[in-house]
Amino acid sequence: MDIEQLARKMREHAIRVEREEQKIELSERKHRQDQLDAIKKLYFNAGRWAGGARDRTAKEAFQKIQLVA
């Protein structure tokens, strides 16, 4: 095998590996962001209950927060 072909294949492989790692990092970041959004929504709805709202969503969020605290 020619040394230039070998170097080319190695570069292409390194690029593929790097792209896969970036995809994994992006998916992990998205997962963390989704979790953070869920927590924010929970606190928002629990705050609505504490502020006087009396719907089921607000009540359930408040109860979940009380279980954790």
CB burial string 35-47: b at 16+ within 10 A, e below: eeeeeeebeebbe
**HEC letters along 41-65:** HHHHHHHHHHCCCCCHHHHHHHHHH
Please answer whether residues 48 and 60 qualify as being in contact, where contact means their C-beta atoms are separated by less than 8 angstroms.
no
pTM above 0.85, yes or no: no
69: pLDDT strictly greater than 80: no
* Total number of domains constituting the chain: 1
Domain that holds residue 51: 3-68
Q: What pLDDT digit, counting tens, does each position of 12-67 carry?
A: 999 999 999 988 898 999 999 999 999 999 999 999 999 999 999 999 999 999 99
Q: Confidence band (pLDDT; 50, 70, 90) for 68? A: confident
